[in-house]
Amino acid sequence: LRRDIAIPLDGELRLLVEALGPRRLMLGAAHPLQNPCVAALKLALSGLSILQEIGERNAARVLRVWGPASS
């Protein structure tokens, strides 16, 4: 992902970012139906580095598998 590309936030996209926040836009993906450019845009808006995003995804996966111990 190139960080030197400016992404204009006009119209509906700006309203969504302001209302929901960039993290919600990123996590509300419709994979595999969305265009890869949309995923790249959401990652760029989130402010996360690719390694942070991968780390968070992996941590969420581990927590789902190892969740709280049942009593």
**Quick one: 41 exposed, middle or buried, by C-beta within 10 A (0-12, 13-18, 19+)?**
buried
pTM, full prediction: 0.29
Residue 70 has pLDDT above 50, yes or no: no
Q: What is the pLDDT of residue 53?
A: 74
Residue with tokens 């936030």: 9
Residue 68 has pLDDT above 60, yes or no: no
Express each pLDDT in 5-57 by its tens digit: 555 666 766 776 777 666 665 544 455 566 667 767 777 777 777 777 777 77
Whether the upstream peptide bond of residue 32 has omega within 30° of 0, thus cis, is yes
- Give me the residue spans of the domains in the chain: 11-66
Which of 41, 32, 48 minimizes the C-alpha distance to 13? 41
Contacts of 44 (CB under 8 A, 6+ apart): 1, 3, 5, 7
**Residue of higher predicted confidence among 70 and 58:** 58
Residue 62 has pLDDT above 60, yes or no: yes
Kindly tell me the sign of the dihedral angle through the C-alpha atoms of 57, 59, 60, 61.
positive
